[in-house]
Structure 1
């Protein structure tokens, strides 16, 4: 009689054509977004997760790099830690540090060894803003075997749990390097570092897919035609950003926020005031208003 192996008994969850193992749950599992769309761009990322590749997602801000990983985790009941390289994250936060508690000196793991030991997924957001010491730590974990040496803790070696996965996001590296001037403070990532990652460029959703997301989110409150119009406005704003006519990008999150308030107020211009115009310069607001007027008749 055949005895099922541990691998055979492990529960899997299917997303599109890819079957992923289900995690152990817990409070670190991201909330599920039932309206989220796993577009065609997702499939190779999913396969790389299954194969335990180190994954670097690059693209403009607001393209959904982090949300892609979080929604995969939400669907597979997998806990996630995030570390944002915003200039405030130190090597101690990332790796760990000694501290005194109750008169006793104890070691506190940072996010990296915590994720490795507990089989969590770690997302290093904006890795192109990370300080060199953190990049050096990451480089060691990216090597085959991926073990972490805690020199500060007597050279303890952290062996990754089989469920551990490592992700990073960046705006201006590799194929996105030509946009580095749009992301002040971003560091140049050398090829040796990039070669240790499987790099995926994540673009904005197509207008058709973004319209579908709007319909899935708001249901009968939003007609398909209006959803397509709003998605086209977002696409035109992104084209303006790529031409550097706009200083900032137009995320799907911003589009959803605008749409929600628009449905509540029945006034696209009023809704845009607090969801779009107030967040940008007067010049950008004027240009975005013109783009909106090209698609929707607004009252003066």
Structure 2
């Protein structure tokens, strides 16, 4: 019997932070270069693996392939190798440069949509999607795991894919829990696009995005930031909570969103100009569209520069999913019985209506609904208890009364 070949989802645990990764060395270089080395890691965790089976398989293939033949392509795929457009000097800093193959697949097959009209083109023809495969080790820590239980919004997937295909900066905004970031991550997971996700705060500095000088082993060296890394290797850069960022940070993104090189004036000469890789993509998410918080729910978000936001080629407000989709998520993610999933979704929609009418100051997200379903199951089917623990107990006293009345009508005592 043939052994099952490892996949990009087969990762190892980093003992430093618990992250699931493919290569300890690359993870340390990207996240702990100023405090950890591979030698220290091996000394402190002698039994911990340094490479995943997937990474080891790739390395073994590279070592055995003295004269590699062109990979056989499936019926709907064509494979083409790509190398990042890296300056020659940069090879000294990041050996290997990274590689992958390119293919195409039909969207309705790739995302398991089935043979539904909404997942095809206007004339009913399949929509072709670009897919990246056979990634080298440099990309592996940033590949997203495919969530087989994730329920996609077909319309949103189409808009994300259009932004990727046309290489347009994408802005997704909307209330918390609408799945903005997760949608992008899962599209990238299915299409094989590595992801660099950066969480923005009001205290973030420009150097945390583009790079900075650090001291390592008594020597100073320049450590590239996440934006520069994503541009060099062709990763999808997710600027999360974009409306929390200060103007000094968002200004860094403006030339990048125009497709221009990133100029790092303080970097050494060979890293001063970072030319974007052909597969680099820029995505931002936020709770507002940059024009301020109209709800009062998102303290810390800033009124943003209109010129900066005008550079987003595709902007989409992401709403909560329809009832049938949210019920499917509760059944898939929490194991809730169909009838109880329907009740939880009904409760959530009543709360959202009360929020829109100004009767309650907070709304409920799918994340909180999943928690409520899981807790309800844990307490033997006590769904009211699940709602209280996951959502209602965090509400102001008057809001909790309103939520309690809604829950009483749906779940009973």
Q: TM-score range by the shorter chain?
A: 0.7 to 0.9
Question: How far, CA to CA, are the matches of 1:56 and 1:35 in structure 2?
Answer: 25
Is 1:160 aligned with 2:276?
Answer: yes
Q: Which residue of 2 aligns with 1:62?
A: 177
Return the alpha-carbon distance in structure 2 between the equivalents of residues 12 and 244 of structure 1: 48
Once the 2 structures are TM-superposed, how far is the Cα of residue 165 of structure 1 from its aligned partner? Answer: 1.1
State the aligned residue count: 291
Task: Say if 2:116 is the partner of 1:6.
Answer: no
How many Å separate the matches in 1 of 2:220 and 2:274? 20
Contact 1:59 1:201 in 2 (8 A): yes
Once the two structures are overlaid, the 10-residue window that deviates more, 246-255 or 195-204, is 246-255
Q: CA deviation at 1:177?
A: 4.7
Whether the 8 Å CA contact 1:45–1:200 is kept in 2: the answer is: no
Residue 172 of structure 1 corresponds to: 288
Pairing partner for 1:232 from 338, 342, 346: 346
* TM-score (normalised: structure 2): 0.65
Matched, 1:212 2:328: yes
More helix by share: 1
For the pair 1:196 / 2:329, whether they are aligned, the reply is: no
Contact 2:79 2:103 in 1 (8 A): no
Q: Does 1:130 align with 2:245?
A: yes
User: Following the alignment from structure 1 to structure 2, what is the Cα–Cα distance between the partners of residues 180 and 173?
Assistant: 12
Taking CA–CA contacts closer than 8 Å with sequence separation of 6 or more, which of the two structures ends up with the larger relative contact order? 1
CA shift, 1:162, in A, is 1.9
- Matching residue within 144, 154, 166 for 1:40: 154
Relative to structure 1, the CA distance from residue 209 to residue 192 in structure 2 (aligned partners, 3 Å threshold; closer, same or farther) is: same
Change (3 A) 1:146 1:234: farther
Note the C-alpha offset of 1:163: 2.0
Matched, 1:254 2:364: no
SS at 1:137 equivalent: helix
- CA change 1:51–1:206 in 2 (3 A) is same
Q: Is the 8 A contact 1:173 1:188 kept in 2?
A: no
Highest CA radius of gyration, 1 or 2?
2
The structure-2 alpha-carbon separation of the partners of 1:124 and 1:243, relative to structure 1 and needing over 3 Å to count, comes to farther
Q: 1:147 to 1:243 in 2, by over 3 A?
A: farther
TM-score by length of 1: 0.88
* Cross-structure match for 2:411: 296
Matches of 1:125 and 1:230, distance apart in 2: 28
Question: Residues 31, 136 of structure 1: CA spacing in aligned structure 2 closer, same or farther, 3 A cutoff?
Answer: same
Higher mean C-alpha displacement, 17-26 vs 105-114? 17-26
When residues 22 and 236 of structure 1 are mapped into structure 2, their CA distance, relative to the original with a 3 A threshold, is farther
Partner of 1:77: 192
- The residue number in structure 1 matching 2:130 is 20
Contact 1:180–1:186 at 8 Å: present in 2 too? no
How far apart are the structure 2 equivalents of 1:63 and 1:204?
A: 5
Distance 1:152-1:53 versus aligned 2 partners, 3 A rule: same
CA distance in 2: counterparts of 1:70 and 1:246, whole angstroms: 32
Q: Within 2, Cα distance between the matches of 1:213 and 1:5?
A: 34
- Give the Cα separation in 2 of the matches to 1:5 and 1:272: 49
Note the C-alpha offset of 1:160.
1.3
- Give the deviation of 1:186 after TM superposition: 1.8
Compared with structure 1, are the counterparts of its residues 273 and 228 closer, same or farther at alpha carbon in structure 2 (3 Å cutoff)? closer
**CA 1:5/1:40 → structure 2, altered by over 3 Å: closer, same or farther?**
closer
Cα distance between partner residues in 1 of 2:172 and 2:194: 19
Structure 1, unmatched stretches of 5+, are none
Q: How does 1:83-122 map to 2 (within 5 A)?
A: 83-122=198-237
Q: Is the 8 A contact 1:172 1:180 kept in 2?
A: no
What SS does the corresponding residue of 1:100 show, helix, strand or coil? strand
Given candidates 356, 365, 373, the residue that maps to 1:242 is 356
- By how many angstroms is 1:272 displaced? 2.5
Q: Which residue of 2 aligns with 1:147?
A: 261
Q: CA deviation at 1:269?
A: 2.2
**Shift of residue 218 of structure 1?**
4.6
Shift of 1:109: 0.9
Stretch of structure 1 that moved more, 134-143 or 46-55: 46-55
Tell me the SS of whatever aligns to 1:166: strand
- 2: CA distance between counterparts of 1:106 and 1:128? 32
